[in-house]
Amino acid sequence: MAIHQVAPERYEQQLGEKLATLKQQFADLSLPNIVTYHSPAEHYRQRAEFKIWQQDGKASYAMYQPGQYKTPFVIDSFPVGSVRINSLMPTLLSAVNNSEILRRRLFQVEFLTTKSNDALITLIYHKPLDAQWEKEARALRETLGVDIIGRSRRQKILLERDFVIEKLQVGEQQFEYKQIEGGFSQPNADVCEKMLAWAVMHTQNSRGDLLELYCGNGNFTVPLAQNFNKVLATEISKTSVQAAHYNFEANNVDNVEVVRISSEEFTQAIDGVRPFRRLAHLDLASYDFSTIFVDPPRAGLDDDTLALTSRFETIVYVSCNPDTLHANLKTLSQTHMVEHFAVFDQFPYTHHLECGAILRRR
Ligand SMILES: C[S@@+](CC[C@H](N)C(=O)[O-])C[C@H]1O[C@@H](n2cnc3c(N)ncnc32)[C@H](O)[C@@H]1O
């Protein structure tokens, strides 16, 4: 993980600078007033990964300046990370340094924590993990009161669980989410709650059904489902689809079908280009889609998915990359008006910015 310069006294200034850049970049699109959602100025990331720097028989947490991967910066705290990550960091490190078996050839540590105070630690090694490692890891689990996963080449040792349970507050409602190790989850839980509330608010009183692409673990699907008759959600990752099933059941959401399929394949299926067995149990023609929700990875929407998106009356677009959002909105502006635009400061002190746009057909 690269180093972030956290300076809470500079929080407003850094956000102001990012907003100014964004406004300049989007000046050629007629955007409405931009609504800005702030992050806590520190301790906002629920997940973190560190390289482990080994010297003279001692392990330390290390980070790198982008592009300078031979010069580690040894750190002992991480103000970007949640309070839970910061309280686990020293305890974990001293336990690792007190056990030759846990320390030797450890090269990476990952923390996954939640607002609900759940936590999971993954220890990643350059050596096979044996019964002795497992015994020591179980003792570590008892000491920390946190689940541990051991990973090595072609090996994953689970002591108990490989997930955490998050609880997010969206307006008056609380939702429960399983977040699986290695699966996507929004890193900044406070900002995630604001994004969910924003999406729920702007889809209230929708008619018909919702198509969601890139649904992940159902993060948005769960609170949005109440605003639609039926929802068809799609996602490429098997782990995330498994988590999504759990999350629909845990939150009593019963009007969603989730399918493991890429957005490119789904576009082919709905256009009748070719059939997919994974969709055979669904009658696509029975859906009365009014709205599409997309939250693609940094690459944005591919051309075919973009063309599909432009056929919907209402588009909700959540994006972690202003460059691809801008390019996609330029195309979508030919058929749609941007009615609402929001900025969510998910990644303070970096140049990254999360945005949300609601578009209506002209
Ligand atoms: C930015 S995440 C958003 C996930 C979810 N909306 C959330 O809030 O947690 C993007 C998701 O798209 C999925 N994805 C990546 N490429 C895809 C593709 N070509 N087709 C479908 N899903 C894809 C990833 O696995 C990931 O879950």
In this structure, which residue's CA is closest to atom 4 in ligand 1? 216
Give tens-digit pLDDT for 36-70.
Answer: 999 999 999 999 999 999 999 999 999 987 777 77
Q: What are the pocket residues of ligand 1 if the criterion is a CB atom closer than 6 Å to any ligand atom?
A: 184-186, 214-217, 219-220, 235-237, 240, 262-264, 295, 297, 320
The catalytic residues are: 320, 354
Sequence-ordered list of residues with C-beta below 8 angstroms from that of 139, at least 6 positions apart, any chain: none
Mean pLDDT, rounded, for 323-334:
98
Environment class of 132 (CB within 10 Å of its CB; exposed 0-12, middle 13-18, buried 19+): exposed
Cα 311 off chain centre by: 27
Atom of ligand 1 nearest to the CA of 263: 20
Task: List Cα–Cα distances, 149 to 110, 123, 334, in angstroms.
Answer: 10, 6, 49
In DSSP notation, 155-188 reads: EEEESS-SEEEEEEEETTEEEEEEEETTS---S-
Environment class of 33 (CB within 10 Å of its CB; exposed 0-12, middle 13-18, buried 19+): exposed
Give tens-digit pLDDT for 252-262.
Answer: 999 999 999 99
To the nearest whole number, what is the mean pLDDT of the chain?
96
Asked whether residue 1 carries a pLDDT value surpassing 70, the answer given is no
3-state secondary structure of 27: coil
What is the Cβ-side half-sphere exposure of residue 41, based on CA atoms within 13 angstroms?
9
Give tens-digit pLDDT for 89-130.
Answer: 999 999 999 999 999 999 999 999 999 999 999 999 999 999
In this structure, which residue's CA is closest to atom 27 in ligand 1? 216
Q: H or E segment at 267?
A: helix 263-270
* Domain assignments of the chain as residue spans, ordered by start: 8-41+188-361, 47-164
ipTM of the complex model: 0.99
Asked whether residue 2 carries a pLDDT value surpassing 60, the answer given is no
Alpha carbons 295 and 5: distance in angstroms, whole number: 28
**Extended beta strands in 57-100, E state:** 58-65, 68-75
Give tens-digit pLDDT for 157-168.
Answer: 999 999 999 999
Asked whether residue 3 carries a pLDDT value surpassing 60, the answer given is no
Give tens-digit pLDDT for 342-356.
Answer: 999 999 999 999 999
Asked whether residue 4 carries a pLDDT value surpassing 90, the answer given is no
Asked whether residue 21 carries a pLDDT value surpassing 90, the answer given is yes
In this structure, which residue's CA is closest to atom 26 in ligand 1? 216
Query: What is the share, in percent, of the chain residues with pLDDT greater than 70?
Result: 99
Q: Is 247 annotated as a binding residue?
A: no
pTM here? Answer: 0.96
Beta-strand relationship, 354-361 and 336-344: antiparallel
Expressed in angstroms and rounded, the spacing between residue 193 Cα and the centre of ligand 1 is 18
Q: At the top level of CATH, which class does the domain 47-164 belong to?
A: mainly beta
Asked whether residue 26 carries a pLDDT value surpassing 80, the answer given is yes
CATH number at 8-41+188-361: 3.40.50.150
Mean pLDDT, rounded, for 211-230:
98
